[in-house]
A and B are shown apart, each in its own frame.
Chain A
Amino acid sequence: MKQELMMKRHNNNIEEQVAKAMMLLDEIKPLEVDHHFRVRLMQRIEYEFGQRSGYAQAGLRNRFDFRLAFMALLIMVNLGSALLSVQHNNLGKTPGISEMIDNLNDDYPSQEFAYYDQTSAYPAETMTAESKTP
């Protein structure tokens, strides 16, 4: 009987402690907001997002630089290829010109132009004929 009573008292004591602990949550008083809270928050936002927009601007600049470099590279490639083709054409033309010069000085050695070879002696004959006529 005495033991039961003691057990009951012990249990009641535990329940009391549990209730006290649980009560703590009801006793928590709401915090008052520190007036620096918003100031610190806005500073942090300015720092974090300002820096981020700075990064974004730097990124934009980098992208712009990249575009500029790419454009310059394209122009250089275009100019280079144009120069190469001009040079190539020039190289092709040089023998043409020399050939033309050669052709100008040519003695028409081929068979097709043999006529001219034959006629080359003709004026002399005509000259003689003319000289003979009068």
Chain B
Amino acid sequence: MTSKEESFRALVAGHQEMVINTCYRFVFNREDAEDLAQDVFIEVFRSLEQFREEAKLSTWIYRIAVTKSLDHLRRQKRKKRFSSLKRIIGIDDPIAEIADSNGDNPAEALVGSEQAVILQYALNTLPDSQKTAFLLSKQEGFSNQEIADILKTSVSAVESLVHRAKKNLHDKLYAYYAMQ
């Protein structure tokens, strides 16, 4: 085993839990979170030599995790839009059917409740910066300073983002439940 591989193994061992859980906060699904975490570490392995020590290694890794998770959510949104468009024009989407029949809903996998689905939907309507700051603030192990480093912003900006995210989320959920 080369020294690069050895140090990489140590790096994975030290950060895997945090990376998986960060992705999990965004996607609400274990399998997706693990797949994303794999992508994160592959990206880390590929560009470890290009890493400049302007930020902490862990901050850099978590930034990659956040970016990958947001990309995944965007892809999911696009896919949903496309399958609903297909449904409108009358083409059956077998992928969507398979996903539905398996009950492969991220939120359902999380707690198995309708509330989780609604929460995830509301979260996904938030701007990326608010969503990231809010979700990371809910995760153990991230201080506001660390979130600020990941988002490349100040602590006060993070506090403001979290506050706005809470308010927006509350309003969206309130509007939803008021309509019921």
User: Taking CB as reference atom, which chain B residue is nearest A34?
Assistant: B34
> Which B residues touch A14, using CB under 8 A?
174, 177-178
Cα distance A44–B45 in the bound complex, in angstroms: 11
Instruction: Report if A15 contacts B (CB, 8 A).
Output: yes
> Which B residues touch A33, using CB under 8 A?
16-17, 20
**Is the beta-carbon distance between B12 and A41 smaller than 8 angstroms?**
yes
**Is the beta-carbon distance between B115 and A25 smaller than 8 angstroms?**
no
Interface size on A, residues (CB 8 A): 26
Interface size on B, residues (CB 8 A): 38
> Which B residues touch A20, using CB under 8 A?
115
> Which A residues touch B41, using CB under 8 A?
41, 45
Give B27 Cβ to nearest chain A Cβ, in Å.
Answer: 11
Contacts A21-B115, A21-B118 known; A42 to B9 CB distance under 8 Å? Answer: yes
**Is the beta-carbon distance between B20 and A37 smaller than 8 angstroms?**
yes
Give A51 Cβ to nearest chain B Cβ, in Å.
Answer: 13
Give B74 Cβ to nearest chain A Cβ, in Å.
Answer: 21
Cα distance A69–B111 in the bound complex, in angstroms: 65
**Is the beta-carbon distance between A28 and B177 smaller than 8 angstroms?**
no
Q: What per-residue 1/0 map shows which CB atoms of B40-57 lie under 8 Å from chain A?
A: 011001100000000000
Instruction: Report if B140 contacts A (CB, 8 A).
Output: yes
> Which B residues touch A41, using CB under 8 A?
12, 38, 41-42
User: Taking CB as reference atom, which chain B residue is nearest A27?
Assistant: B111
> Which A residues touch B20, using CB under 8 A?
31, 33, 37
Cα distance A41–B11 in the bound complex, in angstroms: 12
User: Taking CB as reference atom, which chain B residue is nearest A38?
Assistant: B12
**Is the beta-carbon distance between A31 and B119 smaller than 8 angstroms?**
no
Q: What per-residue 1/0 map shows which CB atoms of B163-180 lie under 8 Å from chain A?
A: 000100110011001100
Cα distance A48–B45 in the bound complex, in angstroms: 11
User: Taking CB as reference atom, which chain A residue is nearest B179?
Assistant: A14
Those 5 A-B pairs whose CB atoms lie nearest each other, nearest first: A18-B173, A14-B177, A17-B177, A21-B119, A21-B115
What are 8 A-B pairs at a CB distance below 8 A?
Answer: A20-B115, A24-B110, A24-B111, A24-B113, A26-B138, A37-B16, A37-B20, A48-B42
Binding site for A on B (CB under 8 A): 5, 8-9, 12-13, 16-17, 20-21, 24-25, 30, 33-34, 37-38, 41-42, 45-46, 110-111, 113, 115-116, 118-119, 122, 135, 138, 140, 166, 169-170, 173-174, 177-178
Beyond known contacts A33-B20, A45-B45: 8 more, CB 8 A cutoff: A14-B174, A21-B122, A24-B110, A25-B135, A37-B20, A38-B9, A40-B38, A45-B41
